[in-house]
Amino acid sequence: MSDTKSYYELYRRSSIGIALSDTLDDMISSRRIEPQLALRIMQHFDKAFTEVVAEKVKQRMSFKGHLDTYRFCDEVWTFIIKDINFKLDNNSNTVHADRVKIVSCSSKRPGEV
């Protein structure tokens, strides 16, 4: 990558991140690309996905549920919430889930101002 800033790898577990990873694995297996290129592609994916989410996603929502577990490790918060209801700000409809895992990372890396 051209800049030295590293990005969280959270979005690699999204459906599009998994699809990209599977495709790159197939390309490595068939010797169409080198593993180092696949790593650079995944790093670019981390950067691009993070920037697009920060710039384009403006929708707000609220949620209410029962906090089951929480953890703070390496500047990352993880919450497990049970019996949770989500409500978009511009919509009166709610969505219910039995269990949700929320992972929250600072937009600034340690040491950044």
Q: What's the mean per-residue pLDDT of the chain?
A: 88
Residue 62 has pLDDT above 70, yes or no: yes
Residue 100 has pLDDT above 90, yes or no: yes
Distances (CA, A) of 35 to 21, 24, 43, 73, 90: 11, 8, 12, 30, 45
**Which structure tokens are listed for 31?**
């010797």
pLDDT in tens, 26-49: 999 999 999 999 999 999 999 999
The DSSP call for residue 71 is E
Domains and CATH numbers, the chain: 10-56 (1.10.287.190), 61-105 (2.30.18.10)
pTM flag (> 0.85): no
Distances (CA, A) of 39 to 5, 44, 96, 101: 15, 9, 37, 27
| Secondary structure (3-state) at 90 | coil
